[in-house]
Amino acid sequence: MDLSDHSTFRVATCDLNGQMRGKRVPASYAEKLCKGAVRMPLSVLNVDIFGADIDGSPLVFETGDADGILRPTGRGPVPMPWLDGSPPLVPMTMHFEDGTAFDGDPRHALENILQRYAAHGWTVIASTELEFTLVDDSGEGLAPAKDPRTGRPLETPEILSVAQLDAFDDFLNALYDGCAAMGIAAQTATCESGIGQFEITLHHQEALRAADDTWLFKTLIKGLARKYGLAATFMAKPFADDAGNGMHMHFSVLDETGRNIFDNGGDDGSDILRAAVAGCLAAMADSTLIFAPHAGSYARLVPGAHAPTGAGWAYENRTAALRIPGGPPSARRIEHRVAGGDINPYLMFAAILGAAFIGIEDDMTPPAPITGNAYDHDLPQMAADWSTAIDRFEASPLMPRILPPELVRNLVMTKRQELRLLASRPEDTHWRVYLDTA
């Protein structure tokens, strides 16, 4: 995409809540992006869900709110099909003046994890399955989306319904076209178990690209829905009595020859796979804040609600937090099923892949895989509420091995501020905060 064809374009980077923070700049900036032409305060990656500074943040009060330098990620410009004319967007990351990476940038956190795999000659291959819900936010409360065929609100889940896919054909066609234009490899679309809920599967590819695609895809969905007179949300639990939105991540690891190191030629997978499983289980409860980052996230994490609450693993069992899918041994992989749709993709990828690497590095051994319903087993539990999740994340002995200390500190400060501010608002109005931001 040629930036010179447009009078202006956007640059944006990812904050701790997964929101795009950036600027609209003139076309003349195109030749200067790699030279640090775009500056923003480092603290902008550490604002709360309302977009406000964090009280007492060292980034503001100890450094004088110093500027960082935005540099292109290497993705190049992508169109924004939800806007007229599809103007360009250039994804960026935050750096210090001397060019070193800013540790408070969530994309850098993922890059750091992937460099540890690369030091062994390994490449992580990953994909995501994203659930979102189409809703009507035109009234005082959140309501199910209206069926384009009738104009009446949707009333039933319509699991795997082709008819409901057809009802939203214009929107879904635009979504696939938008993905193609942005270089996002979208695969299958299905109707899920919630009213107006859909799932899109993205293609298996190198993990950093997969995280980039997931971040861009969430913005695309929300923007296109508005263009078609709808609202789309990744909130973990849009409606109290309906299914929540999850985001499952699949990953495997290839060595320098392209061989999957999780493959032992059989159905059970390699010792390295089991060590990675053990690492993911060991860090799972302490990572709850990343998998469930918002006030409403914990309504999804309840037993029997299709969202794992206990740290267990199994073969071909969708009630388990970690599932080892079937299929040919060469495709052996881990499916991590805990996260809600409201996550920051870079932090989610970093937490999962960092935990897996610790398991491999420490040669951990997991407990026996479970059988039957995971909710019937006595498993270590995820944090039960937001406040507990923040405390566990801050005190975790594993998080400093996964994420930079500065990022851990910033995320804790951000979430404690949000916890305080959301507590002063009626719970039935929280959707207004999260509809477009989760």
Q: What is the pLDDT of residues 278-323, one digit of tens each?
A: 999 999 999 999 999 999 999 999 887 778 999 999 999 999 999 9
Arithmetic mean of pLDDT, 392-411: 97
Higher-confidence position of 4 and 142: 142
| pLDDT tens string 210-257 | 999 999 999 999 999 999 999 999 999 999 989 999 999 999 999 999
pTM of the model: 0.97
Q: What is the pLDDT of residue 63?
A: 73
Domains of the chain with bracketed CATH: 3-102 (3.10.20.70), 114-429 (3.30.590.10)
Q: What is the pLDDT of residue 279?
A: 98
Q: Which pLDDT value is given to residue 287?
A: 98
Q: In the predicted model, is pLDDT for residue 61 greater than 80?
A: no
pLDDT at 4: 78
**Per-residue model confidence as pLDDT tens digits over 329-376:** 999 999 999 999 999 999 999 999 999 999 999 999 999 999 999 999
What value does the mean pLDDT of the chain take?
95
73-84: per-residue pLDDT in tens?
Answer: 999 999 999 999
Mean pLDDT computed over 106-127: 98
Is 90 exceeded by the pLDDT of residue 59?
no
pLDDT for 303 equals 80
Three-state SS sequence of the chain: CCHHHCCEEEEEEECCCCCEEEEEEEHHHHHHHHHCCEEEEHHHHHCCCCCCCCCCCHHHHCCCCCEEEEEECCCCCEECCCCCCCCEEEEEEEECCCCCECCCCHHHHHHHHHHHHHCCCCEEEEEEEEEEEEEECCCCCCEECECCCCCCECCCCCCCCHHHHHHCHHHHHHHHHHHHHHCCCEEEEEECCCCCEEEEEECCEEHHHHHHHHHHHHHHHHHHHHHCCCEEECCCCCCCCCCCCEEEEEEEEECCCCCECCCCCCCCCCHHHHHHHHHHHHHHCCCHHHHCCCHHHHHCCCCCCCCCCECCEEECCCCCCEEECCCCHHHCCEEECCCECCCCHHHHHHHHHHHHHHHHHCCCCCCCCCCCCHHHCCCCECCCCHHHHHHHHHHCCCHHHHCCHHHHHHHHHHHHHHHHHHHCCCHHHHHHHHCCCC
